[in-house]
């Protein structure tokens, strides 16, 4: 769910966020801290909602800090997503050097800790016994925990990324750094799960369960990032020709749309070359069928629906595999045709075959330590 743009960056809210937002508002409203305030139930609920809103604004500020610094270093930002465990800034590209990576990662927790200071000052200014003063004190505490928790060297938390940058600087090898950071992250994530279980057994309550969830989430996210880094390094030196899947069964230029559709169904291909003899005229894809509007598929020629060769976003077979996958992820189309200098279609680099295994947008996943 898109809620708007800040500094030109799309802000998206995952449905899980609404759930956790309502949950925290309710928990806060019924907490001992707010209970001591002699407020009406409606007053407590409004205070809970306001506090919750400011807390999520704080998470957003943390993510914006990552995103704005990344953008200032030339990395485009796809969007910021808020979800149950916090926020994700989706960066389209990798930091080029270790210091850039360290700075992008560190600025998030730094923002949270600065916010903690601001809310603490606000709480003292408002009076620590007033409702808004207590809410500010809570926000100071929550932002402080958020900042410190994210500095844990548990990749893919921010602290893990700082560790990654340091090892990268020392060893001069990005892949080696990923392996080290992922292993340290795994140990810490398992530690969090174990500590969560211990908490649940000996003191009970939701805090232990929350730690287990976070640890489990970190294990998943860290594993995915490591796989991505390893795939990326495996792709180094490969060309578009190496990763292209061979062209699907072509359809002739005089074929109608229903023939193309049947060929797609039968062969499981979403994109077919349209050929006139040996000459490639264009590509027809599953998405082109929307151009049919109210025409019957049997009466429309594929040539009236296809994208012509001249208008195709294509790449030569000698292009680097990484560049073509990046092109694919940015263009929003399902496949990039690989066409050589004689106009012959070599094959397609598709989302299905490569993109799923290699999401090139780098996701900076973070977890909120909402205690
Ligand atoms: Zn962060």
Listed in sequence order, the DSSP H helices in the chain are 15-29, 32-35, 41-72, 98-126, 131-150, 158-171, 174-202, 206-235, 240-243, 257-267, 321-331
State the distance from the centre of ligand 1 to the C-alpha of 92, rounded, in angstroms. 16
CATH fold for domain 240-355: CBS-domain (3.10.580)
State the distance from the centre of ligand 1 to the C-alpha of 71, rounded, in angstroms. 15
* DSSP annotation of 299: G
Per-residue pLDDT of the chain (371 residues; tens, 9 = 90+): 777 778 877 888 877 777 777 877 777 777 776 766 667 777 777 778 888 888 888 888 898 888 888 888 888 888 888 776 677 777 777 777 888 888 988 999 999 999 999 999 998 888 877 888 888 888 898 899 888 888 888 777 888 889 888 988 898 887 788 888 888 888 888 888 888 888 888 876 677 787 888 888 888 877 777 777 777 766 777 788 877 877 778 888 888 888 888 888 888 888 888 988 878 888 888 888 888 877 888 888 888 888 888 888 888 888 888 788 778 777 777 778 888 888 788 888 876 656 444 444 344 444 444 32
Cα dihedral angle (257, 261, 266, 272), rounded to 10 degrees? 80
State the distance from the centre of ligand 1 to the C-alpha of 150, rounded, in angstroms. 6
State the distance from the centre of ligand 1 to the C-alpha of 368, rounded, in angstroms. 9
Contact 75/59 with Cβ under 8 angstroms? Answer: no
CA atoms of 276 and 296, how far apart (whole Å): 23
State the distance from the centre of ligand 1 to the C-alpha of 180, rounded, in angstroms. 20
State the distance from the centre of ligand 1 to the C-alpha of 137, rounded, in angstroms. 22
State the distance from the centre of ligand 1 to the C-alpha of 98, rounded, in angstroms. 17
Sign of the C-alpha dihedral computed for residues 7, 11, 17 and 21 taken in this order: positive
State the distance from the centre of ligand 1 to the C-alpha of 209, rounded, in angstroms. 22
- The first and second tokens of residue 112, run together, are 């949270």
CA atoms of 318 and 192, how far apart (whole Å): 46
Q: How far is CA 83 from CA 149, 157, 159, 234, 366, in A?
A: 17, 15, 20, 31, 10
State the distance from the centre of ligand 1 to the C-alpha of 77, rounded, in angstroms. 15
State the distance from the centre of ligand 1 to the C-alpha of 197, rounded, in angstroms. 26
State the distance from the centre of ligand 1 to the C-alpha of 115, rounded, in angstroms. 14
Contact 112/146 with Cβ under 8 angstroms? Answer: yes
Question: What is residue 356's predicted lDDT score, i.e. its pLDDT?
Answer: 42
State the distance from the centre of ligand 1 to the C-alpha of 152, rounded, in angstroms. 11
State the distance from the centre of ligand 1 to the C-alpha of 62, rounded, in angstroms. 6
Contact 126/132 with Cβ under 8 angstroms? Answer: yes
CA atoms of 112 and 86, how far apart (whole Å): 13
Contact 47/28 with Cβ under 8 angstroms? Answer: yes
State the distance from the centre of ligand 1 to the C-alpha of 324, rounded, in angstroms. 29
Specify the residue for token string 């092109």.
Answer: 327
Edge-to-edge strand order for the sheet containing 86-91? 2-6, 9-13, 77-83, 86-91, 362-365
- The first and second tokens of residue 98, run together, are 């270790």
Listed in sequence order, the DSSP H helices in 151-276 are 158-171, 174-202, 206-235, 240-243, 257-267
State the distance from the centre of ligand 1 to the C-alpha of 365, rounded, in angstroms. 7
pTM: 0.64
State the distance from the centre of ligand 1 to the C-alpha of 104, rounded, in angstroms. 9
State the span(s) of the chain assigned CATH 3.10.580.10: 240-355
State the distance from the centre of ligand 1 to the C-alpha of 187, rounded, in angstroms. 20
């Amino acid at each position: 769910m898109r809620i708007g743009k800040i500094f030109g960056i799309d802000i998206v809210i995952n449905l899980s966020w609404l759930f956790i937002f309502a949950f925290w508002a309710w928990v806060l409203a019924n907490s001992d801290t707010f209970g001591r305030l002699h407020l009406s139930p409606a007053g407590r609920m409004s205070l809970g909602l306001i506090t919750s809103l400011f807390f999520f604004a704080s998470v957003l500020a943390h993510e914006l800090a990552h995103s704005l610094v990344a953008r200032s270093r030339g990395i485009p930002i796809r969007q910021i997503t808020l979800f149950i465990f916090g926020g994700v800034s989706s960066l389209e590209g990798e930091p080029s050097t270790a210091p850039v990576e360290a700075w992008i990662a560190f600025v998030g927790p730094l923002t949270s800790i600065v916010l903690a200071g601001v809310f603490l000052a606000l709480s003292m200014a408002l009076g620590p016994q007033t409702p808004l003063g207590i809410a500010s004190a809570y926000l100071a505490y929550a932002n402080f925990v958020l900042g410190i928790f994210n500095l844990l060297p548990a990749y893919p938390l921010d602290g893990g990324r700082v560790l990654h940058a340091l090892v990268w600087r020392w060893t001069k090898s990005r892949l080696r750094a990923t392996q080290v950071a992922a292993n340290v992250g795994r140990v810490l994530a398992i530690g969090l799960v174990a500590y969560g279980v211990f908490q649940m057994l000996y003191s009970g309550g939701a805090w232990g369960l929350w730690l287990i969830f976070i640890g489990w989430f970190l294990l998943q996210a860290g594993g995915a990032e490591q796989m991505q880094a390893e795939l990326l390094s495996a792709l180094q030196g490969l060309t578009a020709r190496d990763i292209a899947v061979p062209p699907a069964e072509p359809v002739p230029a005089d074929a109608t749309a229903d023939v193309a559709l049947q060929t797609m169904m039968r062969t499981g291909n979403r994109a077919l070359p349209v050929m006139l003899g040996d000459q490639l005229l264009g590509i027809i894809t599953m998405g082109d069928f929307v151009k049919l509007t109210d025409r019957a598929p049997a009466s429309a020629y594929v040539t009236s629906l296809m994208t012509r060769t001249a208008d195709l976003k294509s790449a030569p077979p000698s292009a680097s595999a990484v560049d073509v996958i990046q092109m694919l992820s940015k263009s929003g189309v399902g496949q990039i045709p690989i066409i050589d200098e004689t106009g012959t279609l070599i094959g397609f680099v598709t989302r299905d075959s490569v993109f799923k295994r290699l999401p090139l947008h780098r996701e900076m996943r973070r977890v909120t330590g909402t205690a």
